[in-house]
Amino acid sequence: MLFMTNKYAPGSAEDKGEAFRKAVLANANRGGENVAAGALMGALIGGTCGFSNLPKDLVTGLAQSQRPQLDQEIEAFLAASPTLQASKAHI
């Protein structure tokens, strides 16, 4: 996992989206039990890239019918995050 995350880590602003694409495709193509590794790699590299740099074709159409529910779950998760709450207290 660490090897793949390091191998596909984005190097510059221009290639962040391409780095993310290569990482998730490499994980999917390796086969086996790759769901947890894919989630972790997607979170690590996706967090490094930032949502706005993710390839648009991988984001558009992604669970559009469930988008309101996903947005609610993300907001609830962020609201419950102790780290986020601590950082807000210092603002």
Do 28 and 53 lie in one domain? The reply is: yes
User: Residue 53 corresponds to which tokens in the numbers above?
Assistant: 């740099």
Domain that holds residue 79: 63-91
Q: Are residues 75 and 53 in the same domain?
A: no
Q: Which residue is listed with tokens 């510059």?
A: 12
Q: Which residue has the tokens 């074709």?
A: 57
Q: Could you say which residues of the chain have pLDDT below 70?
A: 12-14, 62, 84-91
User: Looking at the structure, do residues 7 and 21 belong to the same domain, yes or no?
Assistant: yes
- Reported as a single tens digit per residue, the pLDDT across 43-66 is 888 888 888 888 888 887 767 787
* H or E, element range at 5: helix 2-7
pTM across the whole model? 0.60
Greatest alpha-carbon span in the chain: 45
Q: Both 34 and 3 in a single domain? A: yes
Do 55 and 25 lie in a common domain?
Answer: yes
